Homo-oligomer: A and B are copies of this chain.
Amino acid sequence: MGELDPDMFDPMCPSSALPFRIGDKWTGMVLLCLEGGPRRFTQLQVPLRAVTAKVLAETLRAMIRDGLVERTEFAENPPRVQYALTPLGRSLLPVIAALRAWTRAHLPELLAARAAAHEEAR
């Protein structure tokens, strides 16, 4: 299991225009980051460098509370913490796949409609 691709989330992609969201703003991306296996806090921060540590920690805590993610703390020095998907969290991956399928098929159409409406308003 290698490192996460720093560019697995293209900052130029119009994801902010998506008509759906999983949990809070970053929950869906965290799920994708953990799809390939457990990760550490700093590993998540590589592709998610647009998120502050505070918000990432909040996101993870909410996911733990909802049983989507499991946190494991190792009594080492320096401290090491691992985040992994639970079966419940993993059950959301097919849902994400369905949302991405819709996005691939229809998001350009939505963006075109939005751009046209924007044009009209000038």
Residues 95 to 117 of chain A near chain B (Cβ within 8 Å): 95, 98-99, 102, 105-106, 109-110, 112-114, 117
Copies of this chain held together in the complex: 2
Asked if A82 lies at the interface with its beta carbon under 8 angstroms from chain B, I say: no
Give chain A's interface residue range (CB within 8 Å of chain B).
20 to 34
Residues 56 to 113 of chain A near chain B (Cβ within 8 Å): 64-68, 88, 91-92, 95, 98-99, 102, 105-106, 109-110, 112-113
Q: When A and B form their complex, which 8 residue pairs have the shortest distance between CB atoms, in order from nearest?
A: A67-B113, A65-B117, A98-B98, A19-B23, A20-B22, A21-B21, A66-B110, A95-B102
Q: Which residues of A contact B (CB under 8 A)?
A: 19-23, 27, 64-68, 88, 91-92, 95, 98-99, 102, 105-106, 109-110, 112-114, 117
